[in-house]
Chain A
Amino acid sequence: MTFQTTRWSLILRAQLPGAEGHAAFGELCAAYQAPVYTFFRRHGANQDRAAELTQGLFTDLLERDSLRTADPQRGRFRAFLKTCARHWWSNERDRAAARRRGGGRRPLAIDTDALETWLQDVAVDHLDADALFERRWAQTVIDRALWQLEQDELAAGRQTLFAELKPVLDGTQPREPWAVLADRLGTTEGALRVAAHRLRVRCRELLIAEVRDTLPDDHDPGHELQELLAALQAGAPGRNSGESR
């Protein structure tokens, strides 16, 4: 399975001067603010403080065009953003300045409620801030791919089908037999299975595309996926259980 190598990467666009670059960068930040937020939370910032710090960091990146200094060929966006977050946290003492700059403006709305819920729902107590950042990053990549998939299906007028098939995207069997599900949706089992198969294939493609967006051109998305999987499994309850703190 191969993908278009000319795929427009958000990072490349974010490096463009002018409005387009800013828009792309804004999109990128909006997409990946969640890992940063959880990173600050795990470092001990309270909710308001973490949101403020996250906004401050991204505002700072935007205003100072920091991204332009980051060469996407050098590494992944994930590592870049994590380093930025780490610096931002260690420069905590200079926060007054950041507050002046970012505190007043709210360029990025952070859904802190959703993130707090996530922090509580997912057993991640044993993770340090870096690992939590990775864990949340993986989740963000998946969320974005699923969201894109949902948009595609919506556009194709298959939202009902998508809602029913979403739970089986991960390769599990549906709770009801296929035939029953097909009956309920007014289609045949074969057609439903075809749709499920196409959806899985498409989800796979979108995931890889999503990962590609955060990588330099010559990087293998397989490696990145592997690392994300490792990050997820480190955070998965049962494997690395929460009591081993």
Chain B
Amino acid sequence: MDPTHRTPDPAALLHAAMSGGGDSIAPWTPPALAELAGAFPELAITGLVGQGGMAAVYRAEQTRLGRTVALKVLRQDLAAKPQFVDRFLREARALAALSNPHVLAIFDFGERQGFCYLLTEFVDGANLRELMRLGTLSPAEVLRIVPQICAGLHFAHQHGVVHRDIKPENVLVDRAGLVKLADFGLAKLAGEPPRTPLTGPTTVFGTPHYMAPEQWQGSGSVDHRADIYSLGVVLYELLTGKLPVGTYAPASRQPGVPAGIDQVVQRTLQPEPEQRYQSAHEVQRDLERQQPATPPAVTPTPAPAPRGVLRWLVAAVLIAAACAAPIAWLVHAQVQADFAKRDPDEQLRQAEQLLAAIQGTVADGKPWTGALPEIAPPQPRVSLPNWLRLGPFRWALVATGMLVWLCLLAAFLRARHPAVPRWQYVAALVLVTSPLTVGLAAGQWAIAMRYAQPTAGVLPFVAMFVIAAAAVAGIKKAWQLAGNRRQPLVDRLPRALPLTIGLLALGIAGCGVYMATNLQVDAWSRREIGPIVAMRLAGMTRQQVLTRMGPPLTISRSPGAMIWGYRGLDGQERSDAVQFTQGQVTMVTTDAVLLVPNPTPTQAPWLGQTVTEVIAALGPATDRSTSTDPNAETVLSWRNEVAVTVSADGIVVGVHR
């Protein structure tokens, strides 16, 4: 819900109007505007803005100068009492001595028709007490306000004025956020003896909480260091909302308060003046060093990502990318090993079926063209317990995932706003990465369930890591889009929801990709390996077999036929053979059913090829031995390095080195 559309609670509004917002009930009636108008003809007094126990403050226009001023009028019955008039005068003198942006400016002082008055600049704002009623200030704002108090105090101290009544009520903030010290009624002026007793009923003003020990004990001299103590109390109260009474908790326990502040507070609150800061300027300097980790942006533009975030994100992507290749290799190995473990009984059964079919049909020596028996594709034997047993590649996958996740977490925490608890960030990361995790796990499961060719393990993994990289980029984007990072994350999660849903969709799409890839690979495997290969070879020419299967391992001849030997999938050379009759495959025999292309063609590079191809590759032969028998073989040799035996129909049937 847009907060701006919320309407204020009417009952609360009325209640606030009745209670006067917590302002204390005035013990006396300040003079009416009309009364004052007579005494101050040059002023257009527009209203009463506040009243305390001793004086009332009016807002007035200095019509000739066209400026707004504040008219402070001493309570009339007190105007006859010297100590109160002295306080008023003291304030006027103190203000007059201090011309500083952080000290209230005075324009006039005097007495008119029985009104003792003070004319000062008008601060259209509120005091710190009133600001604190709106909730505890953020540490950043405290660190913006308190140094200004320090500046004003330091200026006063330099001019020999000790305020002696620093408290939130006496610090004003205007609409621009500029801080001004006010109410110098208790101030000690330059040239006064240090032990000037506080005038009049001191108990009326201030609270002892803000007084330095030497002030309320009445012992020892009270100098500017008493103000520094009070400043410390104000600083602590602004940060924590509490007074530093007894054994007070460190201010840095508040979220977002830099730890260094504690030392500043401690040094200002030392009971012995000698152990405190010796000047307000030092406090200011130390506070300005304590800017919170996330400095407030002056403009509403989003703050730049803090250092280290990008680094961790890049690390996450790099780790994911670097681990992709070894993991893919491990997958390859694992899947191959699993493949070899397939059920041998089932294979034999299928082979027998096939052989029976082929041999039955091609008995008359013609190329076989008949229909094939329906043979089920090889089925993997994968179960959940097997999968959960975590082969090495899955360990590697889990380890990589953890590493990537930790990098992301580090990036998140680097970007953490100090006011937001860490658990929120961890929760957010879990939320954002869970779709990805689910996607990866489901994809893995899909791979395990299909268990197809080695390529089946590699291709989905490539796809998986592309998706992982995209997800990392997505998380970073979500981070940026979710807006101002100084806002608590829980508030931003609703805005990140579409992106989370998007990532979930991505994860689901990833699963789809895995499934589709696996189905595709499965289809390839049906076409390329197993009994199907044998069927496809039927009727092919030698050149076609050569192209499909590579050079044979062995070649043997029988009357009217030639047999090429290949190896089975398990790497064993068996009687896997293709028989050619008149240049075409007429029979395929295999006891391992699966024929795979010869992986090491260099062993016998020319076997099965034509003599023309050999001459094209090696150049004209240097020697030739032949017999008169037209069916006999010919041996061609090249400088005694290599010799090939060529059959009568021009096929290389032996290679010798």
Contact = CB atoms under 8 A, between A and B. Distances in A.
Contacts of A196: 134
Interface stretch (B296-304, B454-462, B580-588): B296-304
A200 B134 CA distance: 10
A8 to B, nearest CB: 15
A178 B296 CA distance: 12
Chain A's interface: helix, strand, loop or mixed, by majority? Answer: helix
A207 B14 contact: yes
Interface stretch (A20-28, A85-93, A169-177): A169-177
Contacts of B174: 191, 194
Contacts of A184: 300, 484
B641 interface: no
A229 interface: yes
Given A228-B14, A232-B10, A194 B484 contact: no
Interface in B3-19: 3-4, 6-18
A193 B134 contact: yes
B390 to A, nearest CB: 46
Contact of A1 (B32, B48, B173, B175): B48
Given A178-B134, A188-B177, A197 B126 contact: yes
A138 B491 CA distance: 34
Nearest to B141: A189
B172 to A, nearest CB: 9
Given A189-B141, A193-B126, A198-B175, A167 B4 contact: yes
A180 B145 contact: no
B3 A167 contact: yes
**Contact residues on B (Cβ < 8 Å of other chain), bracket:** 35 or more
Interface string B166-181: 0000000111110100
A44 interface: no
**Contact residues on A (Cβ < 8 Å of other chain), bracket:** 35 or more
Given A1-B23, A183-B484, A188-B144, A169 B177 contact: no
Given A185-B300, A196-B134, A2 B30 contact: yes
A142 interface: yes
Given A171-B16, A197-B134, A204-B17, A188 B141 contact: yes
B135 interface: yes
A142 B13 contact: yes
B23 A198 contact: no
A119 interface: no
A169 B297 CA distance: 26
A2 to B, nearest CB: 6
Given A166-B8, A167-B6, 17 more contacts: A5-B32, A139-B10, A164-B4, A169-B8, A170-B8, A171-B12, A172-B9, A184-B300, A186-B298, A190-B141, A190-B144, A191-B174, A191-B175, A207-B13, A228-B14, A229-B15, A232-B11
13 contacts: A146-B8, A172-B12, A174-B3, A175-B3, A176-B487, A179-B141, A179-B486, A186-B299, A190-B145, A190-B179, A191-B176, A197-B125, A204-B17
